[in-house]
Amino acid sequence: MRAWKESEGQDYAPSKIVYLLEHECPDAQMSALKGADANKVAVLHTLSPELGFRLGFASISHSLYRRASDYGARNGYCIDTLERCETQIYLVDINGKMIENDSDSELELSGKETIPADLDDWDRISGGSYVEEDYDPGSGYPNDGTLTREYECTALVIWPNEDLSDEDSDEDASD
């Protein structure tokens, strides 16, 4: 973190780091973490004020919409082309309080700022498991149906104090 802080403002220095946690944390707050996630966040939470960084959580929900045909329970779906995808990201402070920032209300995920770098590869990230699946057969013609799969994950977000949000949340994080 110290090296990152010293390189701040350089072209190669990311404005934030988005680190995928091992377990989804629906409550998106430090007290709800477990295992290695809890240990990592506790250490970073201790160091962050001294090094001038803030911590928060990104609750990431991603939906994939694909054209598909249902060939029955035994054969599953014949998935065709990707129709569209939607990603919603909610940024909260370490206590689960929503962080609002007019200039950066949409948290962008960039490969140079995410760990792992391919955080947008949802099938790999989720191990192929999704939270919800919905199939709409459409008119019944082949590939006229729509298959929707929803994925969710939680990531730790680390950023310098002056970026991403207002100063008010610093007081909340130390409570």
Mean pLDDT of the chain: 75
State how beta strands 77-93 and 145-160 pair.
unpaired
Q: Write the pLDDT tens digit of every residue in 111-149.
A: 788 888 887 777 666 666 788 888 888 776 666 788 888
pLDDT confidence band for 71 (50 / 70 / 90): low
Q: Write the pLDDT tens digit of every residue in 86-102.
A: 778 888 888 888 886 54
Cα–Cα nearest to 128, from 64, 59, 75: 64
Q: Which residue has the higher pLDDT, 118 or 171?
A: 118
Q: What are phi and psi of 108, to 5 degrees?
A: -90, 140
Lowest pLDDT segment from 66-75, 132-141, 146-155: 66-75
Centroid of chain to Cα 141: 36
**Rounded mean pLDDT, 21-43:** 85
Q: Which residue has the higher pLDDT, 18 or 162?
A: 18
**Rounded mean pLDDT, 9-28:** 79
Cα end-to-end span (Å), the chain? 22
- Statement: the pTM of the whole predicted model exceeds 0.95: no
**Rounded mean pLDDT, 40-53:** 90
Assess whether pLDDT exceeds 90 at residue 43: yes
Neighbours of 155 (CB within 10 A): 23
Max mean pLDDT among 8-12, 18-22, 107-111, 158-162 falls in: 18-22
Give the pLDDT confidence score for residue 133 in this predicted structure. 86
The answer to whether the CB of 13 falls within 8 A of the CB of 7 is yes
